[in-house]
Chains A and B, each alone.
Chain A
């Protein structure tokens, strides 16, 4: 089992809809969880991080963490075409590990 897995894409949503991105991790001792956005040819950029169970909101983005289920998600409300990118889930366990990414397309 891979350390960090994400729902396979690509994911397409219409403009204004909610995009839901999911991530599971295998190391129960993992402490911190990150969502990064990566545009083609660019470095990953941090959207938000979460380390406590529950929800964390930042503008149109909400991260949800459930340590018992080893699951972390990212919701993007009012999706915009500029949100079209690859979203990477990252976890700090014994080191800093990334998932394979989910490509999101927001259709005008």
Chain B
């Protein structure tokens, strides 16, 4: 049982480049989330999805896009990377209600 898998674990981007952070879960969870965590800070919600085909913005969506074509996958797209997007990104999934959220191992992104 793999849980939530994020790739890559580390990435260095140049300003203006684009990339996709991958997130896959094998637990058939409806809810999936993308967070960013800056040093010494909590998790800020970027985007979330309540099911395939449904996505919505969180607290800090600017500069990011997501899609949810399947229940399993919830990729996060960065267009025109900026130094302000240097952060650790976490993907999480939850079945819903009073249940545990499962986290991926995180992606450490540096934009230079």
Residue positions of A touching B, CB distance < 8 A = 6, 31-32, 34, 42-46, 49, 51, 88, 90, 92, 95-101
A96, B45: Cβ atoms closer than 8 Å? yes
**Chain B residues within an 8 Å CB radius of A32:** 97-98
Residue positions of B touching A, CB distance < 8 A = 31, 33, 35, 41-45, 48, 56, 58-59, 90, 92, 94, 97-98, 100-101, 103-106
Which residue in chain A gives the minimum CB-CB distance to B43? Answer: A98
**Chain A residues within an 8 Å CB radius of B56:** 95
Once bound together, how far apart are the Cα atoms of A59 and B61, in whole Å?
A: 39
**Chain B residues within an 8 Å CB radius of A88:** 42-43
Once bound together, how far apart are the Cα atoms of A92 and B99, in whole Å?
A: 10
B100, A49: Cβ atoms closer than 8 Å? yes
**Chain A residues within an 8 Å CB radius of B48:** 95-96
Which residue in chain B gives the minimum CB-CB distance to A48? Answer: B100
B105, A95: Cβ atoms closer than 8 Å? no
Once bound together, how far apart are the Cα atoms of A88 and B40, in whole Å?
A: 12
How many A-B contacts at CB < 8 Å in the complex? 50
Partner of B41, one of A31, A44, A101: A101
Task: Say whether chain A's binding surface is mostly helix, strand, loop, or mixed.
Answer: strand
Known: A31-B98, A46-B101, A95-B48. A100 touches B58 (CB 8 A): no
Given A95-B48, A98-B45: 4 more A-B contacts, CB < 8 Å: A32-B97, A43-B90, A49-B98, A90-B101
B103, A43: Cβ atoms closer than 8 Å? yes
Once bound together, how far apart are the Cα atoms of A92 and B92, in whole Å?
A: 13
**Chain A residues within an 8 Å CB radius of B45:** 95-98
A98, B97: Cβ atoms closer than 8 Å? no
Distance from A104 Cβ to chain B, minimum over Cβ atoms (Å) = 14
B42, A101: Cβ atoms closer than 8 Å? yes
**Chain B residues within an 8 Å CB radius of A43:** 90, 103-106
Distance from A99 Cβ to chain B, minimum over Cβ atoms (Å) = 6
**Chain A residues within an 8 Å CB radius of B103:** 43-45
The 25 listed contacts between A and B (C-beta, < 8 Å) are: A6-B42, A32-B97, A32-B98, A34-B101, A43-B90, A43-B104, A43-B106, A44-B90, A44-B103, A45-B103, A46-B101, A49-B98, A49-B100, A88-B42, A88-B43, A90-B101, A95-B33, A95-B58, A96-B45, A96-B92, A96-B101, A98-B43, A98-B45, A100-B41, A101-B42
